[in-house]
Amino acid sequence: MFTTIRKHQRWLMLVIAILTVIAFAFLYNTTDLDRVGVNTVARIYGRTVMQVDVERALRNYQLSIALGQIDLVRSLAAGAKNENEAAENFIWNLMVLQHEAAALGVEPGRQAVVDRIKALPVFQTGGVFDPMKYSAFVQEQLAPRGFTERQLEMVIRDVLRLESVRSLTGVPAVLFKDQVEAIRTRLAPLDVSVIRFSPAAGVPAVEVSDEELKSAFEAGKETLRMPEKRSVRYVAFVLPEGSKDAKDRARIEALQKLSTETGDFVQALGDGTQSLEAASRARGFEMRLTPLFAKDGRTSGTLEGLDKEIVSAAAEAAFRLSAPGALEIVQLGQDGYAVVELAQIEAGRPLAFEEAAADLRAGLIETKRLQSAREAAEKALTAVRENLAGGQTLAEAAEKAGVVTEEIKGLSLLSENLTPAHRRIMAAALDSSVGTLGKFIPDTGGGFAVYVEKRGEPDAALLARNMPMIEEGVLAEKRMLLFAQWLVTARNASGLQVLRSAM
């Protein structure tokens, strides 16, 4: 046998070499595999996006929120209507931003990333970088979630990319003379009279017939559903009662111990050989099960104690998990962590008429009541306008129409103590001319209309102090709009093809 091998060794080695090349070509040529692979999510810039790429971008999204990088999240979430849509927009737009930053030659350097991390408020004490705070954040916030300092650096690098690209796309943003004058006019103090309307004023008793109820049910049948509900098993790692009031170093050490304990436990689960129940039992931890809850955290019963904290912290995370058995780590306020495992999914279903009737009736009554209140207010305002047109003063016109006015003098957006109610009045009056009565504005207290009595001159000192900041704010909004338009164009040019939802 060995004689035969020696005799034919040259062609035998050639065959082995060919087979080796074929095997390596098959194993490492991912193009065809990606096309048919179940982990393929999308294509962008001619390359395949795998589930692992999506998960990496999703971790950046979650960490950006934890770091307070709201500008990055808002700019890349691009007007999403809910959290899932925000996360998905962020994922694709982040890939566009990273690709285009490289193409534009504005990739941030290592030192710029380090300097920005040190400048983050979360890592500072008295305006100076605090290594202890940084270390505590890594141990308490990053490690339990499976993040490292590398993910932190990636997020800050994305923040710097955004700033660089936005500085390029926002170059055309300028304030013209008429826009500056419009800002100045809006900052002028106003003397106004406000006509307020009670939500019950002039509203007769409201009733809903059975026919109206059935008609509303039929019209909204597709949207009247019992929401999907989920429950989770969890193991909590929280500070003991005596340690919750600990300060500074003692608290940090206690949280670091919890962080390590949480990380060790998660690592034991990481190989997939143990369930949460088996791992908790083996280590002497208590595992608990929550009642079923909706995505907004509502349950059919009353939650108490730790269950309440878990549902509040883990509700949205639980609805991101794909199937029972999937795991996530959530933070329980400032007192610890929990490892949660999706336990049960109760599918949503259409509501029967009997189940929907009470809420439908209440909704119809409220709609009718608000409509009646609005009609009564509009009728009164029409009477006031007619009386004003007849030459009466506002006080005379209001009294004849049976409404009461309230005078407010010197309302200004520059006032430091402007209340939310006054801000709403200012917003309604900003574009109104002196001597005109504005339209009815619905409000939590019923509603109101504003009559502008006088428009004064803004305080010169206040204007000089605040104008640069206001102008910069307007310019920043213009730059954001220009960046948003650029992002839409860049994303369209990326050739993005989403093959299945990233969430």
In degrees, rounded to 5, the angle at the alpha carbon of residue 438 between the alpha carbons of residues 440 and 184 is 130
Same domain? For 214 and 363 the reply is yes
Residue 463 lies in a domain: no
270 and 345 housed in the same domain: yes
Q: Are residues 233 and 345 in the same domain?
A: yes
pLDDT the model gives residue 19: 39
Please name the residues in contact with 139: beta carbons below 8 A apart, sequence gap of 6 or more. Answer: 255, 256, 259, 260
| Residue 322, in any domain of the structure | yes
- Indicate whether 28 and 42 sit together in one domain: no
Instruction: Tell me, yes or no, whether 488 lies in a domain.
Output: yes
Q: Both 255 and 368 in a single domain?
A: no
Q: Considering the domain boundaries, does residue 240 fall inside one?
A: yes
Of 349, 278, 298, 338, the residue nearest 144 (C-alpha): 338
Q: What pLDDT is attached to residue 31? A: 41
pLDDT at 270: 64
User: What whole-number distance in Å separates Cα of residue 298 and Cα of residue 300?
Assistant: 7
Query: In this structure, are 106 and 42 located in the same domain?
Result: yes
Tokens of 447: 């509603």
Please check whether residues 372 and 434 belong to one and the same domain. yes
Do residues 41 and 155 share a domain? Answer: yes
Question: 77 and 128 in one domain?
Answer: yes
With beta carbons less than 8 A apart as the criterion, state whether 440 and 178 touch.
no
Indicate whether 503 belongs to any domain. Answer: no
Helix (H) or strand (E) holding 486: helix 460-493
H helices present in 105-203, as ranges? 110-119, 131-137, 149-169, 177-186
Domain boundary among 350, 380, 400: 350
Residue 298: CB partners within 8 Å, gap ≥ 6?
none
Q: Is residue 468 part of a domain?
A: no
From 298, 330, 350, give the residue that closes a domain.
350
- pLDDT at residue 338, as a whole number: 87
pLDDT tens digits in sequence order for the chain, 503 residues long = 334 434 444 444 444 443 343 333 333 344 443 333 457 888 999 999 998 888 888 888 888 887 888 889 999 988 788 888 888 999 999 999 999 999 999 999 999 999 999 998 888 888 888 888 888 888 777 777 677 888 899 999 999 999 999 888 877 777 677 777 777 777 788 899 999 887 765 566 778 888 988 998 888 888 888 889 999 999 988 887 766 555 666 767 777 788 778 877 877 776 666 788 888 888 888 999 999 999 888 887 788 888 888 888 888 888 888 788 888 888 887 778 888 889 999 988 898 999 888 889 888 888 888 888 888 889 999 999 999 999 999 999 999 988 889 999 988 877 777 888 888 888 888 878 888 899 998 887 788 999 999 888 877 777 777 778 777 777 888 888 889 899 999 999 999 998 887 66
Residue 205 and residue 56 in one domain: no
- 421: domain CATH number is 3.10.50
Residues 452, 389 share a domain: yes
96 and 13 housed in the same domain = no
CATH label of the domain that carries residue 95: 1.10.4030
Domain count, the chain: 4
How high is the pLDDT of residue 492?
93
Domain containing 86: what range?
37-171+481-498
pTM as predicted? 0.56
CA 439, CA 193: separation in Å to the nearest integer?
13
54 inside domain: yes
Residue 94 lies in a domain: yes
Quote the pLDDT of residue 113.
92
Contact 306, 313 (CB under 8 A): no
Domain end residue (candidates: 329, 350, 371): 350
| pLDDT at position 101 | 93
